[in-house]
Amino acid sequence: MIRSCSESTGNNVELPPQLEQGRNMYTRFCQAVVGMHLVAGMVPLAGCAQESVSPCDELIGDYATKPKNQPRIRIEKSGEKFLFTHSESGAQVSEPLTPLPNAEIVEMFEGKIVPPRCILTADGMKIMKLPAGSGVNPTEDPDRKLSQYPEPTPFLMGISAGVAAVLGLYPVPHQEKLKDIDEEDEDDGYIYSK
């Protein structure tokens, strides 16, 4: 028999080898379970140190209002906040964007289509990525005005400040300088670097 000592009572108790082995296995099991819970609890905390991923992250990038043209706008993320950056008179201006709550997005589309995962808003403006083949995207309409929407794009910017309009946004590689928002778009064969 193996002799075991209980510190809580100060009594020496002799346990048969099978019970002693069982107690050791139980102790190891408890240590493993506690260890797993500690690791599982620390993983989310480690994720807090990194920027969290948002459905709106798919909107981050530079956009032209015509395919393969110079970028006019940029959607950026700084920490947890989204920014709409554009150029006015040669100076880059950034404005905050707010993600629309999911319930409002669902209500806006009233079951017509699978709603976008995210809509970013600012005063009189909404930016979104519609699912392909949604049926409500004007850039995918076969009868669209090609001068306005030369190619289909899932990225749209709706403007309702003064005059209502929907612009197609065409992703382009990142550029340091943005084209002024009020400059005319020319089909100048702009070649962008990748």
137-187 confidence digits (pLDDT tens): 999 999 999 888 999 999 999 998 778 889 999 999 988 888 886 666 554
Both 79 and 157 in one domain: the answer is yes
Q: Specify the pLDDT at position 173.
A: 92
Both 78 and 121 in one domain: the answer is yes
pTM: 0.66
The pLDDT confidence band at residue 10, using thresholds 50, 70 and 90, is low
Distance of CA 71 to the CA centre of its chain: 21
User: What residues contact residue 177 under an 8 Å CB cut-off, 6+ apart?
Assistant: 87
Tokens of 89: 């008179």
Both 45 and 67 in one domain: the answer is no
Provide the domain limits for residue 30: 2-49
Residue 188 domain flag: no
User: What residues contact residue 112 under an 8 Å CB cut-off, 6+ apart?
Assistant: 135, 136
Confidence check: pLDDT of 40 > 60 = no
Residue 75 domain flag: yes
Confidence check: pLDDT of 1 > 50 = no
Both 9 and 76 in one domain: the answer is no
Tokens of 63: 């956009």
Residue 120 domain flag: yes
Strand partners, 41: none
Both 117 and 25 in one domain: the answer is no
Both 70 and 37 in one domain: the answer is no
Count of domains for the chain? 2
Residue 130 domain flag: yes
Both 145 and 76 in one domain: the answer is yes
Q: Pick the residue with more confidence: 34 or 176? A: 176
Q: Specify the pLDDT at position 17.
A: 64
Q: CA 118, 122, 65: angle at the middle one, nearest 5?
A: 75
For the residues 126-143, what does the mean pLDDT come to? 90
Residue 96 domain flag: yes
Both 80 and 164 in one domain: the answer is yes
Both 31 and 107 in one domain: the answer is no
Q: Specify the pLDDT at position 133.
A: 82
* Beta strand extents in the chain (DSSP E only): 2-5, 12-15, 61-64, 73-78, 81-88, 91-99, 119-122, 125-129, 155-159, 165-172
Confidence check: pLDDT of 4 > 50 = no
Both 76 and 21 in one domain: the answer is no
- Torsion of the alpha carbons at 32, 35, 40 and 44, rounded to the nearest 10: -170
> 48-59 pLDDT, tens per residue?
445 568 899 999
| Least confident range of 33-47, 101-115, 166-180 | 33-47
The one-letter code for the residue type at 189 is: G
7-22 burial, b at 16+ Cβ within 10 Å, e below that, comes to eeeeeeeeeeeeeeee
The pLDDT confidence band at residue 89, using thresholds 50, 70 and 90, is confident
Residue 185 domain flag: no
Both 39 and 80 in one domain: the answer is no
110 conformational bin, left if phi > 0, alpha if psi -120 to 50, beta if neither: left
Both 41 and 59 in one domain: the answer is no
Residue 136 domain flag: yes
Q: Pick the residue with more confidence: 165 or 1? A: 165
Residue 193 domain flag: no
The one-letter code for the residue type at 117 is: R
3-class SS string, 94-148: EEEEEECCHHHHHHHHCCCCCCCCCEEEECCEEEEECCCCCCCCHHHCCCCCCCC
